[in-house]
Amino acid sequence: MENKEIIKAVEAYQNAKVVHPLTCGNDSRHSNLVAEERTGQVVLVCLDCNYVQIFIPDCVLHCQDVIKKMEEDIERMQKAQRFSPYTTLLHYFEVMDKFMDRILKRQKDDK
């Protein structure tokens, strides 16, 4: 993945309404981490305290399509008023949990 793509993926993840954003390791109340290129490598930075995180979870880079689809689905369902927003979100958190489990398991199997 190119650095530009990684930065875009992190931005999309941080703006997604269906996942918990990546937050500062010093204080999770600080603003969400931002992807920046530093000496050729993309790192996550807290603009409030300069906390730097080098590790970017795989699921942040590889679940953009799923997140996008989930957001579209939620919007469609809410428009159709088939579910209350609360029910819809609960359903999607369940889906997301399973998805994350699968990714984590795959990462473990790869090792």
The stretch among 51-59, 60-68, 70-78, 93-101 that binds Zn ion (CB under 5 A) is 51-59
Q: Does 31 bind Zn ion (CB under 5 A)?
A: no
How long a stretch of residues is the chain? 111
User: Does 24 interact with Zn ion (rule: CB under 5 A)?
Assistant: yes
What is the Cα 78 distance to its own chain's centre?
A: 22
Q: Within its chain, how far is the Cα of 18 from the centroid?
A: 8
- State the amino acid at position 82 in one-letter form: R
Q: Give one DSSP letter per residue of 65-83, joined into a string.
A: HHHHHHHHHHHHHHHHTSS
How far apart are the C-alpha atoms of 78 and 75, rounded to whole Å?
5
Say how far apart CA 84 and CA 15 lie, in whole Å. 22
Over the window 77 to 106, marking each residue x when it contacts Zn ion by CB under 5 A and - when it does not, the resulting string is ------------------------------
CB nearer to Zn ion: pick between 3 and 26: 26
Instruction: Return the range that interacts with Zn ion (CB under 5 A); candidates 9-17, 47-55, 61-69, 84-92.
Output: 47-55
Pick the stretch among 27-35, 56-64, 75-83, 96-104 that binds Zn ion (CB under 5 A): 27-35
Q: Which residues bind Zn ion (CB under 5 A)?
A: 24, 26, 30, 46, 48-49, 51
